[in-house]
């Protein structure tokens, strides 16, 4: 097997894992600070600031992983696998995932202010449900249908 092909596949898979992993890490982080952001903590400003800093860092990791998935995917399709129907299906699923995620963030997450109710905070978990469902669909198509 060509070493460049192997390297591109490795980068493609690890980039997807970094993107996926950043989402999983966010779930645990948000769960750990939920009580502080939904309660009457006296230091709510500190936790709000911590959340904002975390989201900025998480976004850098997720964006880098996403960009690398796209670049390596394009290179793999162009150089080795061709532009088949299944490549376009995978592209469409990733575009759908990003559109749904960004749309939900814009509509529901950016409007949150802290402290908030548990019901409002649950919007974070709906975001992760949406995102993880789309990851599962992409992985299912990639590994079982391609």
- For the chain, the domains span 3-145
Q: What is the mean pLDDT of the chain?
A: 93
Q: Could you say which DSSP state residue 110 is in? A: T
Work out the average pLDDT over 85-103: 93
* Per-residue pLDDT reduced to its tens digit, 13-61: 999 999 999 999 999 999 999 999 998 878 888 999 999 999 999 999 9
How many residues would you count in the chain?
146
Residues 6+ apart with CB under 8 A from 27: 125, 128
Q: Which pLDDT score is estimated for 39?
A: 83
Choose between 100 and 41: higher pLDDT: 100
CB atoms within 10 A of CB 46: 11
Q: Which pLDDT score is estimated for 10?
A: 96
Residues 6+ apart with CB under 8 A from 113: none
Q: Residue 127, class by beta-carbon neighbours within 10 Å (0-12 exposed, 13-18 middle, 19+ buried)?
A: buried
Q: Which pLDDT score is estimated for 145?
A: 74
Q: Which pLDDT score is estimated for 43?
A: 83
Work out the average pLDDT over 88-117: 94
Q: Which pLDDT score is estimated for 79?
A: 94
CA-closest candidate to residue 20, choices 107, 133, 143, 120 = 133
Scanning the chain, the segments in alpha helix (DSSP H) are 3-38, 44-76, 85-104, 118-140
CA-closest candidate to residue 89, choices 135, 33, 143, 146 = 146
Q: Can you tell me the distance from the alpha carbon of 89 to that of 74, in angstroms, rounded to the nearest whole number? A: 13
Q: Can you tell me the distance from the alpha carbon of 136 to that of 140, in angstroms, rounded to the nearest whole number? A: 6
| Helices 44-76 and 3-38, axial angle in degrees (round to 10) | 160
Q: Which pLDDT score is estimated for 146?
A: 63
């Amino acid at each position: 097997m060509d070493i460049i092909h192997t390297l591109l596949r490795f980068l493609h898979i690890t980039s997807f894992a970094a993107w996926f992993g950043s989402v999983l890490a966010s779930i645990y982080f948000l769960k750990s600070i939920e009580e502080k952001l939904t309660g009457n903590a006296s230091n709510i400003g500190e936790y709000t600031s911590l959340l904002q800093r975390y989201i900025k860092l998480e976004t850098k990791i997720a964006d880098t992983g996403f960009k690398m998935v796209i670049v390596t995917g394009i290179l793999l399709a162009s150089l080795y696998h061709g532009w088949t129907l299944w490549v376009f299906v995978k592209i469409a699923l990733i575009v759908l995932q990003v559109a749904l995620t960004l749309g939900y963030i814009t509509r529901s997450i950016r409007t949150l202010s802290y402290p908030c109710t548990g019901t409002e905070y649950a919007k974070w978990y709906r975001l992760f449900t949406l995102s993880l469902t789309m990851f599962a669909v992409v992985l299912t198509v990639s590994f079982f249908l391609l």
